[in-house]
Amino acid sequence: MSDLAQLLVILGPTASGKSALGIELAQQLGGEILVCDSTQVYRHFDIGTAKGPPAQQQGIPHHLVDLIEPQEVFTAGEYRQRALDALENVRRRGKLPILTAGTGLYLRALLEGLADAPTRSEELRDHLRAKVRARGPEHLHRLLSRLDREAAGRIAPRDTQKIIRAIEIRILAGKAVGEIHRSGRSGLAGYTVTKIGLSPPRDRLYAKIDARVNAMIAAGWVDEVRTLVEMGVPADAKPFQFIGYSDLRDQIANGRPPGEVVGKIQQSTRRFAKRQITWFRKERDVHWLPGFGDDPDVIVAALQFARLSPGLKI
RNA sequence: GGACGGGUGGGUGAGUGGCUAAAACCAGCAGACUGUAAAUCUGCCGCUCCUUGCGGGCUACGGAGGUUCGAAUCCUCCCCCGUCCA
């Protein structure tokens, strides 16, 4: 028991104040931040992914940010690997690791592990995607039915992305997805995990999101996008799929005012927040706090809860 | 004052007598998701009742009347909005 290190997780939808709370707790408890966010691992995509500028970080080290270049593809497996390393480093320094998590899949990959499935194969995927273009998504679903009936029953006929992954696993591993999943996965060992969830009221969260998008624009998001294009980041680079980036890029390319797409960006962000909420709802053992992470009451409550949790020596 | 065009569910917008609680899209809500996850996908979406059924009731297409077995759809009057002529 006393050998177990503590890991504090702060989870919640975008704009709920995870970073602010994380920094506050890190200061109070001697911690460092581990970011669990699929977008912040990309370098050069800063404003739109809400990376806190150094001034905001109060000297608290932030890990798992700016790991790769825009052209690279990142995965949950890769994240898990890097997060385990980062976690170990923080622990070794005797600091409290505080994970601020907005990407549910990555959080789960770290805490619960991933099944022993093959990594993605770009060649196979290109091939399968070509099939979809030629014959439609249903064709691919029928193919999956023949290869892995169980998976086909679970995946919607038009969910091409998940169908491709299932076929990929079946072909590369020679086994059905279900079989691989049933053989288990190994979660995070050696840590006592304490989870704090932020769940501000929906209407206030949405208002905050709208305001934050405006603030991002005011902070020079458009120039950031312009620079990315000038740097030669290809239009199909993964991070251009992140909310707002391709909208702004297209506006710039067409010589239209970026303000036109602000409403659309706010809306996409709200919908994204909703999906995060749905995901986190079923996360187990979360101590939910009904406000924003920079709300003094929430900070007090979070500190109190963190101090009570087992294994935390402060 | 006159001539046309139009007023449909939160929005846009189809629908010209029954197959219409009303297409489609958007928004919203709910959900799925073990290697692209800020991705990808699914369901619901007037109110209400229950014996949850291709079930019942109620309300609904600017307003009020009328025609009809039956009207968002036809007729009359009225009220708004747009364009044009005076």
pLDDT tens-digit readout, A181-239 = 999 899 999 999 999 999 999 999 999 999 999 999 999 999 999 999 999 999 999 99
pLDDT of residue A163: 96
Q: At what angle do helices A137-147 and A160-173 cross, to 10 degrees?
A: 30
d(CA A247, CA A26): 35
pLDDT single digits (tens) A246-277: 999 999 999 988 988 999 999 999 999 999 99
d(CA A143, CA A149): 9
From the Cβ of A279, is strand B under 7 Å away? yes
Residue A313, pLDDT > 60, answer no
From the Cβ of A76, is strand B under 7 Å away? yes
Is 0.95 topped by the overall pTM?
Answer: no
Percentage, residues of chain A above pLDDT 90: 90
Confidence of residue A1 (pLDDT cuts 50, 70, 90): very low
Closest to A102 measured CA to CA, from A258, A242, A240, A257: A242
Residue A117, pLDDT > 60, answer yes
d(CA A40, CA A139): 36
pLDDT of residue A137: 84
Q: In the structure, how far is the CA atom of residue A298 from the C1' atom of nucleotide B22, in angstroms?
A: 48
Measuring alpha carbon to C1', the residue closest to nucleotide B28 is: A271
Q: How far is CA A82 from the centre of its chain?
A: 14
pLDDT single digits (tens) A104-115: 999 999 999 999
pLDDT of residue A311: 58
